[in-house]
Amino acid sequence: MRRVITYGTFDTLHHGHIRLLRRARELGDYLIVALSTDEFNASKGKSALFSYEERKADLEALRMVDLVIPERTWDQKVTDVRLYHADVFTMGDDWTGKFDFLKDQCEVTYFKRTPSISSTQIRNAMTMNIAAE
């Protein structure tokens, strides 16, 4: 079984995330998603619209996601790859090169980001719609 791991916040889940997850899953037979906790997001200077539990439930509803684990720190990737026997690490190419240190443990690949959609754009659009109501 070829196991793939990826990381992210996955707030306001959208087709950019889902395309990434589908392509990640297609790299193997089993996809692990390390989902940023609310506390870790705060340390990233991000605040997700939806809680860790809500974001986790959304991911677990996706056919291509086999396991969701918490991402609590930047430094857990080496341990995670070993602990979950990941053969492949993948992220969108906004992270190209940032995790190449994992190459001595597993394959590392970066997918092209889906243009013109982001959680920030969705949140801004939601805010504007509410203001216009």
Nearest distance in Å: CB 36, ligand C2G: 5
Q: Is 65 in the site for ligand C2G (CB under 6 A)?
A: no
Work out the widest C-alpha separation in the chain, in whole angstroms.
Answer: 54
Is 44 catalytic? The answer is yes
Footprint of ligand C2G on 17-36 (CB under 6 A): 17, 20, 36
Nearer to ligand C2G, 70 or 132 (CB): 70
With CA atoms as reference, report the closest residue to 33 among 5, 9, 52.
5
Distance CA 87, CA 1 (A): 9
Measured CA distances, 19 to 14, 38, 39, 63, 66 (Å): 9, 23, 26, 13, 16
Nearest distance in Å: CB 133, ligand C2G: 27
Nearest distance in Å: CB 28, ligand C2G: 16
Q: Is 76 in the site for ligand C2G (CB under 6 A)?
A: no
Nearer to ligand C2G, 113 or 123 (CB): 113
Nearer to ligand C2G, 115 or 128 (CB): 115
φ, ψ (nearest 5 deg) of residue 69: -120, 160
Structure tokens at 117: 């959609």
Structure tokens at 131: 């203001």
Which sign, positive or negative, has the C-alpha torsion 50, 51, 55, 61? negative
Q: Which residues bind ligand C2G (CB under 6 A)?
A: 7-10, 16-17, 20, 36, 71, 91-92, 94, 113-114, 117-118
Catalytic residues: 44, 46
